[in-house]
Amino acid sequence: MTLAETEQLREKQQTEIDISKTIESRRSFGQFATPAQLANEIAVTTIPYLHKKSLDILEPSTGTGSFVSAFLRHAGERVTRITAIELDPDLFTAGTRLWSSFPVDYRNVDFTTAEPNALFDLVVANPPYVRHHVLEAERKRQLQRAVFSETGKWISGLAGLYCYFLLLSLKWMMQGALGVWLIPSEWMSVNYGEAIRSFFIKSVRLLKVHKFDASDVRFSDALVSSSVIWFRKDSPGGSADFMRGISLQTPDFSKTIPVAHLGSKGKWLPPVASGASSANAQLKDFFTIRRGIATGDNTFLCCPKPKRMSAISPPNISSRFF
């Protein structure tokens, strides 16, 4: 079978497998496949970062192989081998059969406990978005210990499974290797994302972060707003591109920020689209809003209504998003 025929069959089998499972079961394993068009877009935008002529690729949670297909299509002649890890026996069996005539090795193991059989030039992943309360306490402790011993970072117990996948991937990457991760964008703005933000500031070289709009229909079944991150296993520092919009190739907004300006404790608020105007901007675009701060001095804080509201211009926040 040609690559195009295999891809057609893969999409059909992915749908059949999705239908055969309950939504609860899919949620508990984080089984939401990457749409083919998005996997292709990610492959195309990744190619400029790949400098080696031959590529040994790892996909730590492969499913039926959306990324396998996209990278064979866009970088096929450079791909030496793709190691495809998948825990679910149904997806493992389907993937093994589908890609049997391509340079793809499926392994039916748990990525979080597996040991590297090799080091890779590229790790590309859409890891399982399993929420923390679905993870059993003992498993969470094992994951926290494993991440700590690999990276020296302690992940909050509130973090989802994808955070552990991301940090554990470092030991599978050779020096200079590229990591490309499609993950929920909440790591930028929640307290439990601190270990991830710190990882991108201190452990690797962050290259680019693209945040999709929350309304992007491509992610409707996973019900999350998503981001794609490109980083290199290299000395930290330099500058990273922050982008936002529906398209990876033509983002609505883009800004290059020195990594030294980013802090792991503070939230990385998503950049406000350059087109935000007083007509469509919301208060949350400009301020972090919290409830319940007692002032003790309302006469100071509660000002009389200004006479002409139009005289007040919005603050210039374009230079301090983070």
Ligand X SMILES: C[S@@+](CC[C@H](N)C(=O)[O-])C[C@H]1O[C@@H](n2cnc3c(N)ncnc32)[C@H](O)[C@@H]1O
Give the residue from 196, 136, 189, 207 showing the smallest Cα distance to 170. 196
Binding residue for ligand X, selected from 86, 121, 186, 194, defined by CB under 6 A: 86
- The residue (of 46 and 198) whose beta carbon lies closer to ligand X is 46
Q: Using the rule CB under 6 A, is 63 a contact of ligand X?
A: yes
135 CB-side CA count, 13 A: 24
Q: To the nearest whole angstrom, how small is the minimum distance from the Cβ of residue 42 to ligand X?
A: 9
Cβ proximity to ligand X: between 219 and 242 the closer is: 219
The least CB distance from residue 236 to ligand X, in Å, is 27
67 sits near ligand X (criterion: CB under 6 A):
yes
Which of 7, 41, 56, 88 binds ligand X (CB under 6 A)? It is 88
- The site that binds ligand X (CB under 6 A) totals a number of residues, namely 22
Residue 270 is a binding residue for ligand X (CB under 6 A): no
6 binds ligand X (CB under 6 A): no
* Site membership for ligand X, residue 110 (CB under 6 A): yes
Smallest gap from residue 130 Cβ to ligand X (A):
7
Per CB under 6 A, the list member of 111, 172, 219, 231 interacting with ligand X is 111
Q: Which of 6, 40, 46, 62 binds ligand X (CB under 6 A)?
A: 62
> Counting contacts by CB under 6 A, is residue 160 touching ligand X?
no
Is residue 31 a contact point for ligand X (CB under 6 A)? yes
Q: What is the binding site for ligand X (CB under 6 A)?
A: 29-34, 61-63, 66-67, 85-88, 91, 110-112, 126-128
